[in-house]
Amino acid sequence: MKSLKKKRRIQILAAAAVALVLAVALIGYGFRDGINLYRSPSQLAEFHPDPDEVFRLGGLVEQGTLKRGDGHVITFAVTDGGATVPVRFEGVLPDLFAENAGMIATGSMQNGTFVASEILAKHDENYMPKEVADSLKEQGVYQPPNS
């Protein structure tokens, strides 16, 4: 009788372990395209991502680099004070997007240019995304709001 209970316990533990491994694999598979890592321009200068890797780039829009091309193509440069990355975006920019303002873009690197699929801009004059503020502080360029 004890042998049957022991066998049943081992079977239940084995089934639970298989279910756990399957659940972790399914969760990982579901998140594979949904996780976008944040990188600053200085981090991109040190580490070059794969061309098909989608990530977030944040910093300040560099003064004098915002250019509107044909149609909805916009080019500009993003800086954190330590490095600058050229950005190309095709679409409509947020209303509060401006030079010397914080922004975060989602996209990938193609031939040395960050091609953005989505751009997020600050929502008022006092807000700056935490990631952007942290990378600007690292470079010593951060200026607190109302300074």
Render pLDDT for 33-80 as a digit per residue (tens, 0 to 9): 666 678 888 888 888 888 788 888 988 888 888 888 777 889 999 988
What class has domain 38-121? mainly beta
Kindly tell me if the per-residue pLDDT of 10 is higher than 90: yes
Confidence grade of residue 1 (pLDDT, cut at 50, 70, 90): low
Q: Are strands 55-61 and 37-39 parallel, antiparallel or unpaired?
A: parallel
Confidence grade of residue 16 (pLDDT, cut at 50, 70, 90): very high
pLDDT tens-digit series, residues 106-118? 999 988 899 999 9
CA 32 to chain CA mean position, Å: 14
Confidence grade of residue 23 (pLDDT, cut at 50, 70, 90): very high
- Show the DSSP H helices in the chain as ranges: 2-31, 41-46, 130-139
Q: Is the pTM of this model over 0.85?
A: no
- Known binder of ligand: residue 123? yes
- Known binder of ligand: residue 127? yes
pLDDT of residue 94: 84
**CA torsion angle 104 109 115 120 (round to 10):** -10
Average pLDDT over residues 122-139: 67
DSSP 82: S
Average pLDDT over residues 77-102: 87
CA distances from 2 to 7, 9, 50, 99 (A): 9, 11, 57, 75
Average pLDDT over residues 121-143: 67
Confidence grade of residue 122 (pLDDT, cut at 50, 70, 90): low
Domain ranges of the chain: 1-33, 38-121
